Structure 1
């Protein structure tokens, strides 16, 4: 019987250099997609999947993240007094329950694997989820569940460790972590190998690791060795490769779209996609886009 996935780790210590100068004073995770920060979209995905404890691995100048997921007494009182109940409700609905958030520091930028390892004491001895905050997911039109919920469904079937994947053009496979495909079950499949940013032309598939994981706590004992990989950093992919020698890994073909909001192109595409699904602004926004394209 598999243990229920209760906890999720959000590595949010990155510097966001690709968005400078905007991220000089604003964490990249707090840049907004339509009307809410990138990170809030990711946290909401975790809540919808049944996560109960949200663990943020932060760094310097990230206190605003902690404030965002806390009560803002003055603002809430002002909204209530002015009768802005819709805005008040939107503000309070995004708050995790009391005691459901934890924050720990990654004191040096040593890689994603190191960031996940920093959460070891808060996770404890149970399987957990990892959600990369740069990667924002949108389910397919006929699919209600976002990516992590689809991963947890696969975990209930297979147990072990789960990685969400998505197709990428073959010519771009060298930019991502790529998996090898074993026995195929349709939506899910056995992972027989993983490689971080393979040299051009050597990728074993075009299925990229898309930023959602379910991992056993044994990964911490591997990551604590501090072995460095690509870029001289402690890579989570390398730790998972070692763990896969002892535990099964399965991939989930995410039924939807992932936006890499760590890049300007992905961030802008996410804003357009989410705006076009927002009932309040979809129609007028589409009209504005048509005007813009009409002038190009």
Structure 2
């Protein structure tokens, strides 16, 4: 089994669930404590042993590229003022990994975004991470999935159990359980009616895919809103390849919507010794006001 060395992170979406702030600010750059959401996903890839990362960007996303670039003027200013601790932090973001960029000129869905990585991926498996999904885990979720891939081979998608009433907001799998937290996928259904859903195992934004996904995407017709769905292309892979689902260990936050972003900020603040106690006191006082 070849080592997985590359990850694709699509960041070209409009972020309509977070309007009006995303009118001028990429949703991936909204802060969780003191780092943008996209950095958490990039760090997950790095901590999973990934060497090369491709960001699929779009119009209005230059702030992401600038963030991972060197900030020469800022660095000079910090060095001149002797603020070496801040200088170290700023430089670290520029040296996290080998990051490459491809621009998705039209927002035609997640499947189309992933297809833009075709020239970046060789005859190999690769990871896809969505920046909307921040997952707090002792072992990075992608790393957990790589271990599943090493054991079973094939494509691997991350899933989590959700209330059956919420499946209409997710892609859902029909699958056979074959091990602890491991399922062999038989079908994938995008946003099913709760009364007709084959399970409550919802797809979360982490994937390990074979390069053959690009051929499947070429044959995938646009669906709702003229978008090419990655789920539809993975269904085509099922005809000739194994697709496994892994119920990951960790807590997922949907930071592409307002409440999820607030929850993530609170949860990650509580992991910080310099913030935890003061925040705890503030929240207690706030609740007393109710």
TM category, shorter: over 0.9
Does 2:269 match 1:275?
Answer: yes
| Segment drifting more, 87-96 vs 67-76 | 87-96
For 1:109, the equivalent position in structure 2 comes to 107
Does 2:82 match 1:79?
Answer: no
**Aligned partner of 2:146 among 136, 152, 158:** 152
CA contact (8 A) 2:220 2:232 kept: no
The CA RMSD measured in Å over matched residues stands at 1.4
Q: Give ranges in structure 1 of 5+ residues lacking alignment.
A: none
Instruction: Please state how far the C-alpha of 1:171 moved relative to its aligned partner.
Output: 0.6
Counterparts of 1:227-266 in structure 2, within 5 Å, are: 227-266=221-260
Q: Spell out, residue by residue over 1:244-287, the C-alpha distance to the aligned partner (whole angstroms, 9 max, x if none).
A: 11111111111111111111111111111111111211111111
**Aligned partner of 1:222 among 212, 216, 223:** 216
1-side partners of 2:29 and 2:151: how far apart? Answer: 35
For 2:180, the equivalent position in structure 1 comes to 186
Q: Spell out, residue by residue over 1:124-152, the C-alpha distance to the aligned partner (whole angstroms, 9 max, x if none).
A: 2211100011110101xxxx212111111
Counterparts of 1:1-296 in structure 2, within 5 Å, are: 2-96=1-95, 100-139=98-137, 144-296=138-290
1-side partners of 2:95 and 2:83: how far apart? Answer: 21
1-side partners of 2:188 and 2:261: how far apart? Answer: 27
Q: Spell out, residue by residue over 1:76-119, the C-alpha distance to the aligned partner (whole angstroms, 9 max, x if none).
A: 22222323222222222233467x11111111111100000011
1-side partners of 2:30 and 2:194: how far apart? Answer: 32
2-side partners of 1:228 and 1:74: how far apart? Answer: 45
TM superposition score normalised by structure 2: 0.96
- Secondary structure (helix, strand or coil) at the match of 2:267 reads helix
1-side partners of 2:125 and 2:149: how far apart? Answer: 10
- Secondary structure (helix, strand or coil) at the match of 2:59 reads coil
Q: Give ranges in structure 2 of 5+ residues lacking alignment.
A: none
TM superposition outliers: structure 1 runs of 4+ over 3 Å: none
The number of aligned residues is 290
Instruction: Please state how far the C-alpha of 1:226 moved relative to its aligned partner.
Output: 4.3
Q: Spell out, residue by residue over 1:37-60, the C-alpha distance to the aligned partner (whole angstroms, 9 max, x if none).
A: 010111111110011111011111
CA contact (8 A) 1:188 1:252 kept: yes
| Segment drifting more, 45-54 vs 192-201 | 192-201
